[in-house]
Structure 1
Amino acid sequence: MAVQSWAELLRSSKKTALIHDGKRKIHYLFADGKEMAEEYDFKTDDLIVRKWRTKSTLGSQGQWQIEVGEPLAANIASLDSEMIKENCSNPVFMRKDTKSCFQWRIRNLPYPKEVFSVSVEPSGRCCIVKTSNKKYYKKFSVPDLDRIQLPLDCSALSFTYANDTLIISYKKPKEILTLEHELLRELKKLKGTSEGDVDCKTQ
């Protein structure tokens, strides 16, 4: 899907807006039944959450899949305390973007910085994080680039490490920056309320 067709898909989707709790919440419904929900900080316009939901083959609503934002703490209440204790020390992978970069954080990685390597695998359209001590390995894609069929650029990738957290940054290409700027301008025209969703298709 090229830049133009993804932008067109966003434009043609049915959007509802809600201003609540200092956030601009947007719900997109696409023609194929897929849903996307986004939350932006109302003051800074930073993207806080993006999640997707598709219908199952039987037509029932699937679970929300987080693309950007804190991972859902699913079924924590139903786990016993031993399980919760064990899970607390597991690495936690999440995406939290900035204005200029896609950014991922992996918490609970108590290893020296020099053991980490982060690379791009262009043929697999993914980034790979691994440690020389064989303690951690993670492969992840950049959906934003996949949607508009942009190649991954190894020079855009960098990482820092502090407080047992690896922070991986990928500099957004100009096509993405332009698209995000135009989308935000459109979203700000939607008439959202703080009391409920408003159908903005006709605005």
Structure 2
Amino acid sequence: MAVQCWLDALKSAKKTALLHDGKRKVHYLFVDGKEMAEEYDLKTDELIVRKWRRKNTLGALGQWEIEVGDPATMAISEPHPIMESSSNPVLMRKDTKTSFQWRVRNLPYPKEVYSVSVETVERCCIIRTTNKKYYKKFSIPDLDRCQLPLESSALTFSHANNTLIISYQKPKQILTLEQDLLRELKKMKGSGDGDVDCKTQ
């Protein structure tokens, strides 16, 4: 079962944990050399950031790729001579306990302009607008890693304050996997700068 394979990969990866600034930061090094870094809120146990880094063909480490979290806040530390306009639509993922969730900022059109659909063959979600002003395809890597099907019924969206909010209800298998992983992470002794590793259950 693919969900179990992914959980096993997470459990067998070399992990280091750090408690800092109200967050549990976990770094994973997988057998194939890929790295994953996650940050969880210590109070709510919600995932704030997940990013990946892979080695290129020459064996050098590439740039971190953001899977969950706001890329704008991550990019501040790295100088960029060319910047995107701050009025362009920006897609970011910010999950809740029960849903994968994406926000597209800077979309001023009314809700009836948008359609969000699941493409089961392409394994992605597509945002379209009837006024042809915005089109975006995105995948749900969590479902791909666990080889779970995409369900149209799990997808909903709303629009407020120039932001389109898309939610995809997490399947039972993902919720169980996340609870198992969180239990594992809480058992780890996290080093911290003066922080105490409090067990919050």
TM-score by length of 2: 0.92
1:192 alignment partner in structure 2: 190
Candidates 99, 102, 108, aligned match of 1:110: 108
Matched, 1:25 2:18: no
The RMSD of aligned alpha carbons is: 1.6
2:75 alignment partner in structure 1: 73
CA separation of 1:135 and 1:14: change in aligned 2, threshold 3 A: same
Partner Cα separation in structure 2 for residue 17 and residue 193 of structure 1: 7
1:123 alignment partner in structure 2: 121
Unaligned runs of at least 5 residues, structure 1: 197-203
User: How do residues 13-162 of structure 1 correspond to structure 2 at under 5 angstroms?
Assistant: 13-71=13-71, 72-73=74-75, 77-79=79-81, 84=83, 87-162=85-160
Partner Cα separation in structure 2 for residue 68 and residue 158 of structure 1: 19
Partner Cα separation in structure 2 for residue 76 and residue 136 of structure 1: 28
User: What is the identity percentage for the equivalent residue pairs of Structure 1 and Structure 2?
Assistant: 71
Specify the code of the residue in structure 2 equivalent to 1:32.
D
Partner Cα separation in structure 2 for residue 105 and residue 66 of structure 1: 14
Partner Cα separation in structure 1 for residue 75 and residue 132 of structure 2: 27
Deviation at 1:73, TM superposition (A): 2.6
2:197 alignment partner in structure 1: none
Candidates 163, 179, 182, aligned match of 1:181: 179
CA separation of 1:28 and 1:77: change in aligned 2, threshold 3 A: closer
How many residues in Structure 1 have an aligned counterpart in Structure 2?
192
SS of the aligned residue for 1:152 comes to coil
TM-score by length of 1: 0.91
Specify the code of the residue in structure 1 equivalent to 2:5.
S
SS of the aligned residue for 1:145 comes to helix
CA separation of 1:31 and 1:76: change in aligned 2, threshold 3 A: closer
Partner Cα separation in structure 1 for residue 89 and residue 183 of structure 2: 36
CA separation of 1:14 and 1:170: change in aligned 2, threshold 3 A: same
CA separation of 1:76 and 1:187: change in aligned 2, threshold 3 A: closer
Specify the code of the residue in structure 2 equivalent to 1:73.
A
CA separation of 1:78 and 1:120: change in aligned 2, threshold 3 A: closer
Deviation at 1:113, TM superposition (A): 1.1
SS of the aligned residue for 2:19 comes to strand
Structure with higher RCO (Cα < 8 A, 6+ apart): 1
